[in-house]
Amino acid sequence: MRSLIVEKGPGPVEDDPDALVKGWLQREVRGGVKTPWIRPRKYWFVLTPDSLDYYSSNEKGARRLGSLVLTSLCSVLWPDKQTYKETGYWSVTVFGRKHCYRLYTEHLNEAVHWVCAVQKVIDSKAPVQTPTQLLMRDVEEHCGSPEVLEQIYRCNPILRYTSSPLYAPLLPFPYGSLDQSGEG
C-alpha cells in the first residue's frame, strides 16, 4: 500500500513549482501545561497539489512544522462573520484525516483565496474507496457466477457475520462537519 505522506525537501523555496498558494497565516496552537489556552501564531503556509504544509519562516531551508495530506475526503469551511466579529480575523478551517487546521487572516479576500485553492485541490483528488466498497463492486460484477461469488464470500469474512470487531469504516465519510469543534 502506498503512503499518503509525500517526502519533501528541507523547506520552502520561493520558486517551488509545486506551490499553488503560499503566504503568511495565523494558526491556532495549544499552549503547554503552564499555558493551556489556545492562541494564534504566525506561520508560512504552502499549498501543494498533495498537502497543506506550514513552516517556521518563508526562507529557504526553513523547517517544516506540519503537513496536512489532502484527499477527496478532506473538507474546508468558509470564513464566517461571527468569528470575524469576535476576533477581528477571518477563520478558515481545513479538516484532514487526523488533524484540522484552523487558520486566520485579517483580510476576507485572502481567506476566500485560500478556501477556493484548498477546495480545488480536494476536488482534484480521486475518490477514496474502502476495501468494503471494492468487495461490493466485485460482488456486483460477478453476480451471474455462483462459483466466483462463493469464493469471494469465503475469502472475505467481512461479508458475513463475524464476532470480531470492525477496525476500519466500511464506507468513506468526509472529514469534518459543521457541528465539529475543529480541535486539532
Confidence of residue 52 (pLDDT cuts 50, 70, 90): very high
Correct CATH for 21-124 of 2.30.29.30, 3.40.50.12160, 3.40.50.1220, 2.60.34.10: 2.30.29.30
- Please provide the DSSP assignment of 101-166 as one string: EEEEES-HHHHHHHHHHHHHHHHHSPPP--HHHHHHHHHHHTTT-HHHHHHHHHH-GGGS--SSPP
Instruction: Give the pLDDT of residue 14.
Output: 54
Q: Which residues contact 52 (CB under 8 A, 6 or more apart)?
A: 45, 46, 67, 68, 70, 94, 101, 118
Instruction: Give the pLDDT of residue 160.
Output: 73
Question: Is the separation of the CB atoms in 135 and 152 below 8 Å?
Answer: yes
pLDDT at 179 > cutoff 70: no
21, β-bridge pairs: 47
Convert the pLDDT of each residue in 7-39 to its tens digit: 555 554 455 667 899 999 999 776 556 555 567
Instruction: Give the pLDDT of residue 152.
Output: 86
Convert the pLDDT of each residue in 84-129 to its tens digit: 998 899 999 999 988 889 999 999 999 999 999 999 999 999 887 7
Distance CA 59, CA 63 (A): 9
Provide the 8-state DSSP code for 84.
H
How far does CA 94 lie from the centroid of its chain? 7
Question: Is the separation of the CB atoms in 22 and 46 below 8 Å?
Answer: yes
Domain ranges of the chain: 21-124, 129-168
- Please provide the DSSP assignment of 24-65 as one string: EEEEEEE--SS--SEEEEEEEEEE-SSEEEEES-SSTTPPEE
Take residue 2 and report the three cell numbers written for it.
502506498
What's the mean pLDDT in 154-180? 71
Question: Is the separation of the CB atoms in 11 and 63 below 8 Å?
Answer: yes
**Does 54 or 164 have the greater pLDDT score?**
54
46, β-bridge pairs: 22, 53
Instruction: Give the pLDDT of residue 178.
Output: 46
Instruction: Give the pLDDT of residue 16.
Output: 67
Instruction: Give the pLDDT of residue 128.
Output: 79
Exposure class string for 148-172: b at 16+ Cβ within 10 A, else e = eeeebeeeeeebeeeeeeeeeeeee
